Structure 1
Amino acid sequence: MKRLVVLVWLALMPPLPALAVQPDEVLENPALEARARELSKGLRCLVCRNENIDESNADLARDLRIAVRERLVAGDSDEEVIDYLVTRYGEYVLLKPTFRGANLVLWLAGPVMVLGGGLIAVSYLRRRRPEDAAPPEALSPEEQARLDALMGDNRRL
């Protein structure tokens, strides 16, 4: 019975993020390891796309984790480690790209397009005001007689 309860509990337990850091990658210095983990959370796995290297099991992610740890052990600051990886792999390695250069266009394109679309919609709606539309023409006497005849047939039902 106890085994069944444990199996049900494990089956219903929500999935937890699995860290892919291997025991042989972990640094002996807890402060350096904490820095490495923090840096790894902001670096993209180049194989898995939108997964950080700390959670990826890809071989390239392992190489990037090892490179981060090697640079930290060599005495590099966090910024120097990031600069090294960006120089080597490009800004794509960053999960959150910088706000300068060509990325500035990407950061601003979305809000500019939303504002532009809003302005186009407002100008379109202002041009279509109902008070600007011409009033409908009155029915001719023949049309009115025809309408009355049709409505008279429906009133009897």
Structure 2
Amino acid sequence: MKVVIQRVTEASVTINKIKVAAINQGLLILVGIVNEDTQEDINWLVRKVTNLRIFNDENGVMNQSLLDAKGDVIVVSQFTLHASTKKGNRPSYIKAAKPDVAIPLYENFVKTLQKNIDKQVQTGEFGADMKVALLNDGPVTIIIDSKNKE
């Protein structure tokens, strides 16, 4: 499982011209899932995401976690995170899990994250054509892959 974490001052998800999610200060988390992913990957990533010290403290130093900053969260599924670009110019998404595998894992990621923070986790819609808008704060963008824990 791979996530791209973006620290934002605001973010939103729009589907068919309807805004389905919107946050202020917090994290926009893009999630890509492969067939080999398990609840263990979810648990590890949720611990990392919630405790990663990427929010500024009173001295302007990135020393606070999502929990400390009491930030908002939007989670968006994004199979393109597992694109392979080794051959040719058309990305291959063969590594990305199909919906029958990915949807339950995505939903479990959201539920597990929800259990670990004091705010509602907002989401896009799995498989929808989403328009994601964000104002990246910093910019701070971090990529974490549960398969590269060491």
- The TM-score with structure 2 as length reference comes to 0.24
Structure richer in strand, relative to its length: 2
Bigger helix share: 1
Instruction: Report the TM-score, using the length of structure 1 for normalisation.
Output: 0.23
* Larger-gyration structure (1/2): 1
